[in-house]
Structure 1
């Protein structure tokens, strides 16, 4: 297997990570969802014991 010159490939690797870490995250974090969830009532429903007729 022939050896590759690492100089251009290392530059491509560094440049691609630079793009991934500086340009793409702000675009993703700026995305807003059209339907933001609203908090629901946090009260627990009142539960009752079951009355089994055969016990």
Structure 2
């Protein structure tokens, strides 16, 4: 059964993990956003608060 032969799959797995753990993280960390996120100001409530009859 060729699936049990670890030779080709071990090599593919090692190269894939090298890609994910060594090459990609610096590229992702160095990514700069084109626009800085802006915090939204909280809006004032419109009108008076409700008066609850059971309070």
RMSD over aligned Cα, in angstroms? Answer: 1.9
- Alpha-carbon distance, 1:40 to partner: 2.9
Aligned to 1:52: none
Structure 1: runs of 5+ lacking an equivalent: 50-55
Cα distance between partner residues in 2 of 1:8 and 1:28 = 29
After TM superposition, the structure 1 = structure 2 runs for residues 1-55 of structure 1, keeping only pairs within 5 Å, are 2-4=1-3, 5-42=5-42, 44-49=43-48
Structure 1 consecutive aligned stretches of length 4 or more whose deviation exceeds 3 Å: none
Stretches of structure 2 that go unaligned for 5 or more consecutive residues are: 49-55
When the two structures are aligned, how many residues end up with a matched partner?
47
Specify which structure has the higher proportion of helix.
2
* TM-score under structure 1 length normalisation: 0.60
